[in-house]
Amino acid sequence: MRTEIRYRDVLTRSARVRVGELGSGRPIVLVHDLFGSHEDFEPILAALAAKMHVILLDLPGFGESE
């Protein structure tokens, strides 16, 4: 089953950051490690989103952020 993520870009003074959200409830923020992206969390997203509001982002310079 594919989990649908709602994406948006957040503009900061120095970068455009890609943020994804799914699910509802208590929030949890997922931040990848060095050389990663939000896609690293794909295997666990459905389970987390079933109970929580999941917020994931790509750090500046990684994934779909600039």
Assess contact for 24 and 51: CB atoms under 8 A: no
pLDDT at 2 over 90: no
pLDDT value of residue 1: 47
Q: What residue has token string 């997922």?
A: 30
* pLDDT (tens digit per residue) in 10-60: 999 999 999 999 999 999 999 988 888 888 898 999 999 999 999 999 888
pLDDT value of residue 39: 85
Judge residue 28's burial from the number of C-beta atoms within 10 Å of its C-beta, 0-12 exposed, 13-18 middle, 19 or more buried: middle
Q: How confident is the model at residue 3 (pLDDT cuts 50, 70, 90)?
A: low
Q: Where are the domains of the chain?
A: 6-57
By C-alpha distance, which of 16, 7, 9, 1 is closest to 47? 1
Quickly count: other Cβ atoms within 10 Å of residue 43's Cβ: 8
